[in-house]
């Protein structure tokens, strides 16, 4: 085999897709607080990936830097082989984002929001209409499509945000706590949409505190604790010998055996 081809094969240039996300030496500090402490992360394409960690671990800060919403102090991020900070237009065309504390155009109706998002994404009007109708239908928002977003419930806001993030059929979808405030029926619907999406080769990266959800949805997990990645890999590998992801997680974050409120001897009891 000629040397160049050997190099290409070794480097994965032939046929093998780049990882969905590659993070190298990523840092973010807010004053004295180090939110993300030089993490390395490689998330393979075509997987359902969960980013988990206790409150304040740095998940939102990481996702914000990976999606181009927050500039890192140091480090590199590539999405689908493109540098997020050098090549933002290429990256933004390939990703969909449902951020934490989602800000939407409140004075548009759900339907108008999707029409506007689709046109911003450069899709032809007829295609936007078709996709919007299908998404509103599947996400059970057809009845509320002409209501203003300001009047949507928390779960409805998540669903219209998800529809807006999926409209241009991105390669990688980033979701910060997508199931928070969502009722079980809607959660099942969202789940179905996401499973179909990953089955077609796309990648979902989502953050969550709900281990049962991550365990049942994800095939790849990254665990973040105090600004560092404590474990990353296929779900079974990260879970190891532990009976559940929840137990493995508690072990990894060092929370096994922590005082579960026993010291609150004044709470409850006889009055
Ligand atoms: N804009 C900011 N200014 C100051 N500190 C911040 C800011 N954003 C995040 N932090 C701090 O950085 C750390 C990581 O926060 P981050 O929101 O990324 O955690 P998280 O893992 O998403 O937490 P949660 O699960 O509670 O949402 C926390 O200590 C937080 O207080």
d(CA 114, CA 207): 24
Q: What is the pLDDT of residue 47?
A: 93
> Cα–Cα distance between 144 and 3 in angstroms, integer?
60
Residue 120 pLDDT exceeds 90:
yes
Lowest mean pLDDT among 103-117, 235-249, 251-265: 251-265
Residue 176 has pLDDT above 50, yes or no: yes
Residue 5 has pLDDT above 50, yes or no: no
Q: Which is more confident, 74 or 262?
A: 74
Q: Is the pLDDT of residue 140 over 70?
A: yes
Sequence-ordered alpha helix ranges (H) in the chain: 3-10, 59-66, 88-94, 110-120, 125-138, 154-166, 184-199, 211-217, 235-239, 245-252
Q: Which of 26, 28, 29, 30 has the most ligand 1 atoms within 8 A of CB, as the residue to mutate?
A: 30
Q: Is the pLDDT of residue 263 over 60?
A: yes
Ligand 1, residues 28, 35, 210: which to mutate, most atoms within 8 A of Cβ?
35
Band (13; pLDDT cuts 50, 70, 90): very low
pTM: 0.87
């Amino acid at each position: 085999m000629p040397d160049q081809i050997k190099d290409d094969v070794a480097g994965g240039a032939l046929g093998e897709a780049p990882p969905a996300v590659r993070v190298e030496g990523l840092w973010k500090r807010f004053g004295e607080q180090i939110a993300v402490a030089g993490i390395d992360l490689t998330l393979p394409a075509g997987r359902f990936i969960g980013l988990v960690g206790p409150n304040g671990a740095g998940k939102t800060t990481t996702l914000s830097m990976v999606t181009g919403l927050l500039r890192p102090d140091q480090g590199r991020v590539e999405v689908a082989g493109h540098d997020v900070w050098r090549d933002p237009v290429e990256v933004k065309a390939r990703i969909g984002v449902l951020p934490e504390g989602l800000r939407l155009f409140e004075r548009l109706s759900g339907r108008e929001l999707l029409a506007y998002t689709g046109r911003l994404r450069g899709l032809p009007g007829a295609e936007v209409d078709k996709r919007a109708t299908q998404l509103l239908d599947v996400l059970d928002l057809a009845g509320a499509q002409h209501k203003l977003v300001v009047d949507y419930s928390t779960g409805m806001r998540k669903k219209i945000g998800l529809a807006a993030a999926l409209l241009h059929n991105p390669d990688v979808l980033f979701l910060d706590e997508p199931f928070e405030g969502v009722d079980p029926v809607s959660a099942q619907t969202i789940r179905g949409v996401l499973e179909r999406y990953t089955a077609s080769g796309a990648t979902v990266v989502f953050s969550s505190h709900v281990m049962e959800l991550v365990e049942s949805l994800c095939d790849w997990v990254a665990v973040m604790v105090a600004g560092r990645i404590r474990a990353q890999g296929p779900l079974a590998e990260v879970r190891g010998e532990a009976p559940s992801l929840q137990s493995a997680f508690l072990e990894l974050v060092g929370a096994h055996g922590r005082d579960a409120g026993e010291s609150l001897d004044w709470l409850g009891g006889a009055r």
